[in-house]
Amino acid sequence: VTTIAILTAAGSGTRLGRDIPKALVEIDGVPLVTHAARRLAASGVVDSIVVTCPPGLASVVADVVARDALVGVPVRVVDGGATRQASVAAGLALAGPDDDVVLVHDAARPFASAALVRRVVSAVRDGHRAVVPGVPVVDTIKTVTDADLPPAPAPSGTGAMGAVVAEPVISTPQRAQLRAVQTPQGFDRALLERAHDAAAHRAVDAPATDDAGLVEALGERVVVVAGEDAALKVTTERDLVLATLYARQAEK
Ligand code: CTP
Ligand code: MG
pLDDT in tens, 31-67: 999 999 999 999 999 999 999 999 999 999 999 987 7
Inform me whether the pLDDT recorded for 154 exceeds 80. no
Ligand of minimum distance to the alpha carbon of 109: 1
Q: What is the mean pLDDT of residues 85-94?
A: 97
Best CA proximity match to 106, nearest among 197, 9, 225, 245: 9
The ligand 1 site (C-beta within 6 Å) comprises: 8-15, 22-23, 52, 80-84, 87, 106-108, 233, 235
Tell me whether residue 29 is in a domain: yes
Amino acid at residue number 168: P
Tell me whether residue 127 is in a domain: yes
Q: Look at ligand 1, atom 6, and give the residue with the nearest C-alpha.
A: 11
**CATH number, position 59:** 3.90.550.10
Which H/E stretch holds residue 76? strand 75-79
Please give the model's pTM, rounded to 2 decimal places. 0.93
Tell me whether residue 169 is in a domain: no
185 CA from centroid of ligand 2 (Å): 17
Q: Look at ligand 1, atom 10, and give the residue with the nearest C-alpha.
A: 11
What is the tally of structural domains in the chain? 1
Tell me whether residue 150 is in a domain: no
Ligand of minimum distance to the alpha carbon of 84: 1
Confidence tier at 243 by pLDDT (50, 70, 90): very high
62 CA from centroid of ligand 2 (Å): 21
Q: Angle at CA 89, nearest 5°, toward 51 and 91?
A: 25
Tell me whether residue 167 is in a domain: no
Taking every pair of C-alpha atoms in the chain, what is the biggest distance, in angstroms?
A: 70
Ligand of minimum distance to the alpha carbon of 106: 1
Best CA proximity match to 221, nearest among 133, 128, 134: 128
Confidence tier at 152 by pLDDT (50, 70, 90): low
Tell me whether residue 238 is in a domain: yes
* Average per-residue pLDDT for the chain: 93
11 CA from centroid of ligand 1 (Å): 4
Tell me whether residue 100 is in a domain: yes
158 CA from centroid of ligand 1 (Å): 42
In ligand 1, which atom is closest to the CA atom of 82? 8
Q: Are 45 and 99 in contact (CB under 8 A)?
A: no
Tell me whether residue 153 is in a domain: no
Beta-strand (E) ranges in 62-195? 75-79, 99-106, 130-136, 143-144, 169-171, 179-181, 185-188
For ligand 1, pick from 22, 24, 182 the residue to mutate: most ligand atoms within 8 Å of CB. Answer: 22
pLDDT of 250 reads: 78
Which domain range does residue 85 map to?
A: 2-136+177-251
